[in-house]
Amino acid sequence: MRILTASQSKALDAAAERDGHPMAALMEAAGLRVAQAARQLLGGLDGRRVVVVCGRGNNGGDGLVAARYFANGGARVEIFLAAQPDSITGLPAVYLKSAVRAGCVVHALPTAGQDEDAPAAWLAGLAEACGQAALVVDALLGVGLHGPPRGIVADAIRVISQASCPVLAVDVASGLDADTGQAPGVAVKATATVTMSFAKPGHLTGRGRDLGGQLYIGDIGFPAGAVGELGGPYLVAPEANDIAGMLPARPYYSNKGTYGHLLVVGGSTGFIGAAALAARGGLRSGTGLVTVACPAQAQPSLAAKLTEAMTWPLPDGDGRLNAAAAQELLAGQGRFTALAVGPGLGRGSDVTSFVKLLLEQEPQLGKPLVIDADGLNALAELIAASDWPGKKVPADSEPRIIITPHPGELSRLMGKSVPEIESDRIAAAMAAAQTWHVIVLLKGTGTVVADPRGRAAIIPTGGPYLATGGTGDVLCGLIGGLCAQGVPVWEAAVAGAFLHGLAADLLAESLGHTGLLAGEVADAIPRARRAVENGRVVLPWRFLS
C-alpha cells in the first residue's frame, strides 16, 4: 500500500484539480467517507447527537460536509467552529451554509473584541456537548499541522480528548504530525481516523497508532496517473500479498541444501542466549542449515542449548571473538550463504577489531550480511573513528548489508540523541541508509525499513508485545535466514520484519498481550508465514467501499 506524506498529499490535491477533479468534488467525497466511517464505527446515528469540531481550513470543510450527511441521515448535529464565521472562506464557507440549511446548529467564535468571555463559554459548551454526544468528529487540523497547536485550537483538543464517547478524526488526529507520527504539543486521542485515499506515515509510526486509533481509508477519486507522478520519498506499508510474493518457494523436489546455510556470529561468555535465539529465528525462517560461530569458551554451553543448529568454536580473548577469530571465519565462510553478526557478541576492543576485519572483507564475501546488537556497537565505534570500511562501497552498487538498530543503537551510530531519532523515524532511517549505503531496519513502534535509493517501508505488524529481551535477536536470525535462502536484502528485511511482528500479533491473540517470550515469537514464525500465504492477515486499517 502506498503511503503519502503531507506535502505529497497537497501536491496530489493540486494535480487532481489540473486533471479535472475539482476540489469541491474531492471535499464532497471526503465528507461522505467521514459519514461512512462513522457508520462503520457506531452503526446508525439516526436521532443521536453528533458533535463536529471544525477548523477554518479544508479539514474543517471535510467535517462540514460530513455534518450535512449526518443531519440528512437523521442525526442531531452541532458544529463547533473554532474560528469566527467571517474567517471561513472558499469551499468551507459554502459547506458551512449548506450544513446550516440541513439543520445543523453552529456554535462559532464571535468577532474578536466583541465578548472577552466568549472563548471560555464556547469551550464550556463544547465540553458539555462532548459529554452528551454519541460521537465527536475532530476536523480541526488534519495534515496541516505546523508546530504545536495553540490558543483556542489547543483548548478544543484538550476538551475533545476528554470526551466520554468515541472520537472520529478526519485525516489525522489533530495535533499529530502526519509525517512523523509525533505530537509536538497537545493532540486528540481518537477512537478511529478516516483518511482520504492514502494513509500517511504518521498513522503507522511513532505515536500514530495510539493517538489515531483504528484507521479507515476511503477512496475519494484521485486520478491514478497523478499518484505516479509524485516526487519522493517513495513510502509503502506492505500487505500480506506483498510479503507472500517475497518469500521463496518450497518445491517438493528439494532438500536442506536447497534452502541455504546461515552463519550466526555471536554468543560471548554470559550472552549465549542471544546467539541461540538468533539461530532459532534463522531455523524458523525456513533456511536449511544454521551454524553458530562463537567463542571457544562459550561453545560447550551453546552446543548444549542448541539441538537443530551446529556450532563453530573460534579463537577468543576473555570469552569474546577477536581478530584471529575473524581470520579463521573468513577462511571458512565459503560454505555459508548469509551471515548474521552481533547477537551476544559482547563489547571491547577485540570485538571491534573482529567486526572491522569482517567489514573490510565484505566486498569479497559477496553475500548478505545482517548486523545487529553488539555488532552495531562495534560499528558505532568504527564510525566515530572514521574507520568504517563500508564508506568505500560504490554508491551505485547493490547494498548487501542490513543493519537492524533500535533507536538507542541508531543514536550511537549517527551521533544524535534518541529524541532526535524518534522525532522523525523515517527521515533518520533514510538518512542512515544513504550515508552508509546499507539497508536500515529501525526497530520500534512502526518499524521502518529504508534503502539508499530513497524508498522506505513502514511495517504494520507487531506491537508492545515485542517489548521484551531477545525478540531483536530472533528478528536478526529470521532476516539472515531469508537472505540465506536467496531472498534479496530489501525483501528479506521487509518480509522478516513483517513476519516477526505478525508472529507476535498471532501469539497475543491466543496468549494475551503481556509476557510473550522471544523464543515463543520465533516458534510462531511458521504460523505467521502460513497466514501470509493464505491471505489471512488483519492489518491496522480498513478500506471503505
Q: Which of 59, 60, 67 is nearest to 9 (CA)?
A: 59
Summarised one tens digit per residue, pLDDT across range 172-226 is: 999 999 999 999 999 999 999 999 999 999 999 999 999 999 999 999 998 878 8
pLDDT tens across 420-472, in order? 999 999 999 999 999 999 999 999 999 999 999 999 999 999 999 999 999 99
Q: Work out the burial of residue 517: count CB atoms within 10 Å of its CB; fewer than 13 is exposed, 13-18 middle, 19 or more buried.
A: middle
For 15-32, b where at least 16 C-beta lie within 10 A, e where not — what string? bbeeeebeeeebbbbbbb
Does residue 298 surpass a pLDDT of 60?
yes
CA–CA dist 190, 248 (Å, integer): 40
Mean pLDDT of the chain: 94
Question: What's the CA gap between 148 and 133, in Å, rounded?
Answer: 27
Cell of residue 392, nine digits: 568505500
Q: Is the pLDDT of residue 392 over 60?
A: no
Tell me, what's the pLDDT at 229? 83
Q: What percent of the chain has pLDDT over 70?
A: 98
Biggest CA-to-CA distance, the chain:
83
Q: Is the pLDDT reported for residue 144 higher than 80?
A: no
Question: Which pLDDT value is given to residue 372?
Answer: 98
Question: What are residue 327's phi and psi, to 5 degrees?
Answer: -65, -45
Which domains, ranges and CATH numbers included, belong to the chain?
2-232 (3.40.50.10260), 240-246+259-536 (3.40.1190.20)
Reported as a pLDDT band with limits 50, 70 and 90, residue 386 is: confident
pLDDT at 520: 98
The span from the CA of 13 to the CA of 246, in Å, is 33
Q: Report residue 45 as a C-alpha cell.
A: 446515528
Grid coordinates standing for 527? 504460523
DSSP 342: -
pLDDT range class, residue 114, cuts 50, 70, 90: low
Residue 90, pLDDT above cutoff 80: yes
Query: Among 402, 405, 372, which Cα is nearest to 390's?
Result: 402
Which element (helix H / strand E) includes 196?
strand 192-196
C-alpha cell at 112: 474578536
What is the arithmetic mean of pLDDT over 316-321? 89
φ and ψ of 33, to 5 deg:
-65, -35
**Average pLDDT of span 111-139:** 87
Please give the average per-residue pLDDT across 342-352, as a whole number.
Answer: 94
3-state secondary structure 462-516: CCHHHCCCCHHHHHHHHHHHHHHCCCCHHHHHHHHHHHHHHHHHHHHHHHCCCCC
Total Cβ atoms within 10 A of residue 510: 8
Q: How many CA atoms lie within 13 A of 196 on its CB side?
A: 28
For residue 376, what pLDDT band results from cuts at 50, 70 and 90?
very high
User: What is the spatial distance between Cα 147 and Cα 176, in angstroms, rounded to a whole number?
Assistant: 10
169: left (phi over 0), alpha (psi -120 to 50) or beta: beta
Whether the pLDDT of residue 32 is over 60: the answer is yes
Predicted pLDDT of residue 304: 94
Q: Output the pLDDT for position 469.
A: 95
Q: What is the pLDDT of residue 449?
A: 98
Q: Are 470 and 519 in contact (CB under 8 A)?
A: yes
pLDDT at 19: 84
Q: Is 9 helix (H, G, I), strand (E, B) or coil?
A: helix
> Would you place residue 34 in the very low, low, confident or very high pLDDT band (cuts 50, 70, 90)?
very high
pLDDT confidence of residue 433:
96
